[in-house]
A and B are shown apart, each in its own frame.
Chain A
Amino acid sequence: MNETGATLPSAYSAEAAGAASAAKAGSEAPSLRSTSLAILTQNLTRRFGRLRALDEVNAHIPKGAIYGLMGPNGAGKTTFVRVLLNLVNPTSGSATVLGYDVVREPVKVRQRVGHVAALQPLWDWMTVRDFAGFMRGCYPRWNSEAVSTVLDRIGIDQAATLGVLSRGQRAVVAIAVAVGHEPDLLILDEALTGLDPIARREVLRNVIDAMQAEGRTVLITGQDIADMERICDHVGFLVKGRLVLEATLDDLKARVKRIRVEHPGEAEVLVPAGAFQIERRPRETVFTVENYAEALLSSLDGPGRRVSAANLSLEDIFIDLAQAHMKGQDMAGAGGKLPPNVPGHGQEQAPAEQL
């Protein structure tokens, strides 16, 4: 039941993490991939001059997922999307969207993808109706009723020209049109950024509605982490062009915890390898771990001590991880990637992996 949702995607991070699961996945792996991944990139790299906008990215986005791609400004999120849409070519590596190679079959990809970008250039002189009609001509199928429903819900007049609409209204027009051809994959690139609450709500609602169709996938990039936490079931973190982490949200939240050890006086608390954001104070030691297991608490416990593990919101996790990576802190020697989802522990030392 719920296990299927939780373990299936982890199998992909396990694949990415390498050897351990290769044996488990066995010969079925390739067919599994082609049927259950909406997006797969292999060592995807894009350079702009000396800048590596994308650096050996291995992303696995399962069909039916709402995948949030997060990262600080300039991390490579938009370049990632642009490669998927073949607006820029990869320098090396490959990307497959819905089974099609983005370089060899860009048209097949684009016909199946709906895309909303921040501040998307819309033709200001066109009416909403003409714009929808124009977009309709680009795709084999079109659901006019769905488009009208979305526009009517927040009272956008289809006879209005795009130029007179507010930024929020334009965002709603963009998403209404992006789902008009009932895409198998919907990509929102920074589309929630800077929207007023009503438009934001409407865009989120459209994403959720779009997900009601079987097997549809959504990729969202941005920094609106609270919104991502609402709707995403998978997350990836890009830092300086590297995908430093990819996990299901449930898995991530179960594993990343803030540990607090209160001790009566000065004490040298043995912080586990791979811990980060470590704060040592006279009577308490606090740090974040990426591989929480209950056994950790008892190992830290002692006379007069109080040990606790706190949940972190996705926003907290994001800030902790991003800061640790920006500082170049070594994350358990594994580039911060969570180890394969194995129910047992003893995973504290993740297999070293070169990303």
Chain B
Amino acid sequence: MLMYYYNSTEAMFDSIDPKSALPIYRQITDQIRWRVAAGVFAPGDRLPSVRELASQLLVNPNTIAKVYRDLERDGLLETRRGDGTYIASDAIALAASERTRIIEEELRSIARDVRAFGLSDQAAMDLFRRILNREAERKDRR
């Protein structure tokens, strides 16, 4: 049987959760941003077309088009005329700032809880350091 592959480096996506309070647009955007930050998506990787991804994730094609448009504006994606959408060639540089941004966002939400629970800065920092060490040990064991 003859099989046709679009491109072996074509990016893969996780299914989305329509019941989440996080809008579908954000779920897809976050997937791409996170994977660029983690280096799972590398410059030159081809993304599915709007139509393919809408069909695959079962979401409104306009939502996908908007995700691609906004990420292209942010420099993470680039569209080659008549060819498709790719991870941009300078996404490597962006990945570093993307990593900082994602961590910062998570830490800010933790900081708010630290304040709300009345935890001291010292206690919070100690806790964070302990968790970092534990993660490092776990990685070493593997």
Q: Is A327 part of the contact surface with B, judged by Cβ < 8 Å?
A: no
Separation of A312 and B69 alpha carbons in the complex (Å) = 25
Could you tell me the distance in whole angstroms from the C-beta of A236 to the nearest C-beta in chain B? 16
Segment of A29-37, A44-52, A208-216, A267-275 in the binding face: A208-216
Residue of B18, B23, B24, B66 near A2 (CB, 8 A) is B66
Residues A313 and B20 in contact, CB atoms below 8 Å apart: yes
Residues A205 and B58 in contact, CB atoms below 8 Å apart: yes
CB-CB under 8 A for A230 and B22, given A2-B69, A208-B54: no
Residue of A2, A232, A315 near B60 (CB, 8 A) is A232
Contacts of B62 in A (CB 8 A): 5, 233
Q: Is B61 part of the contact surface with A, judged by Cβ < 8 Å?
A: yes
Contacts of A262 in B (CB 8 A): 116
Residues B58 and A310 in contact, CB atoms below 8 Å apart: no
Q: Is A231 part of the contact surface with B, judged by Cβ < 8 Å?
A: yes
Q: Is B94 part of the contact surface with A, judged by Cβ < 8 Å?
A: no
Residues B59 and A205 in contact, CB atoms below 8 Å apart: no
Residues A315 and B58 in contact, CB atoms below 8 Å apart: no
Separation of A209 and B51 alpha carbons in the complex (Å) = 8
Q: Is A229 part of the contact surface with B, judged by Cβ < 8 Å?
A: yes
Contacts of B20 in A (CB 8 A): 313
Q: Is B123 part of the contact surface with A, judged by Cβ < 8 Å?
A: no
Residues A313 and B19 in contact, CB atoms below 8 Å apart: yes
B17-58 with Cβ < 8 A to chain A: 18-25, 51, 54-55, 58
Contacts of A310 in B (CB 8 A): 21
Separation of A313 and B23 alpha carbons in the complex (Å) = 8
Separation of A310 and B23 alpha carbons in the complex (Å) = 12
Residue of B51, B60, B116 near A230 (CB, 8 A) is B60
CB-CB under 8 A for A231 and B19, given A212-B51, A306-B116: no
Proximity bits, B61-93, A CB within 8 Å = 1, else 0: 111001001100000000000000000000000
- Total contacting residues, chain B, CB less than 8 A: 22
Contacts of B116 in A (CB 8 A): 262, 306
CB-CB under 8 A for A313 and B18, given A205-B55, A212-B51, A306-B116: yes
Could you tell me the distance in whole angstroms from the C-beta of B85 to the nearest C-beta in chain A? 15
Residue of A212, A230, A306, A313 near B59 (CB, 8 A) is A230
Contacts of B59 in A (CB 8 A): 208, 230-231
Contacts of A314 in B (CB 8 A): 18
Separation of A262 and B18 alpha carbons in the complex (Å) = 28
Residues A226 and B51 in contact, CB atoms below 8 Å apart: no
Residues A233 and B60 in contact, CB atoms below 8 Å apart: yes
Separation of A211 and B65 alpha carbons in the complex (Å) = 13
Separation of A306 and B55 alpha carbons in the complex (Å) = 42
Q: Is A204 part of the contact surface with B, judged by Cβ < 8 Å?
A: yes
Residues B58 and A229 in contact, CB atoms below 8 Å apart: no
Residue of A1, A208, A233, A316 near B58 (CB, 8 A) is A208
Residues B69 and A208 in contact, CB atoms below 8 Å apart: no
Could you tell me the distance in whole angstroms from the C-beta of B108 to the nearest C-beta in chain A? 13
Separation of A321 and B1 alpha carbons in the complex (Å) = 53
A185-210 with Cβ < 8 A to chain B: 201, 204-205, 208-209
Q: Is A73 part of the contact surface with B, judged by Cβ < 8 Å?
A: no
Separation of A315 and B25 alpha carbons in the complex (Å) = 17
Q: Is A227 part of the contact surface with B, judged by Cβ < 8 Å?
A: yes
Separation of A312 and B18 alpha carbons in the complex (Å) = 11
Residues A201 and B58 in contact, CB atoms below 8 Å apart: yes
Residue of A1, A229, A311 near B69 (CB, 8 A) is A1
Contacts of B61 in A (CB 8 A): 208, 211-212
Residues B55 and A208 in contact, CB atoms below 8 Å apart: yes
Q: Is A110 part of the contact surface with B, judged by Cβ < 8 Å?
A: no
Contacts of A312 in B (CB 8 A): 21
A to B CB contacts below 8 Å, 28 in the list? A2-B66, A5-B62, A66-B60, A204-B58, A205-B55, A208-B55, A208-B58, A209-B51, A211-B60, A211-B61, A212-B51, A212-B61, A226-B18, A229-B19, A230-B18, A230-B58, A230-B60, A233-B60, A233-B62, A250-B23, A262-B116, A306-B116, A311-B22, A313-B18, A313-B21, A314-B18, A315-B19, A316-B21
Residue ranges of B at the interface with A (Cβ–Cβ < 8 Å): 16, 18-25, 51, 54-55, 58-63, 66, 69-70, 116
8 A-B pairs with the lowest CB-CB distances in the bound complex, closest first: A226-B18, A311-B21, A229-B18, A230-B18, A204-B58, A2-B66, A231-B60, A230-B59
Residue ranges of A at the interface with B (Cβ–Cβ < 8 Å): 1-2, 5, 66, 201, 204-205, 208-209, 211-212, 226-227, 229-233, 250, 253, 262, 306, 310-316
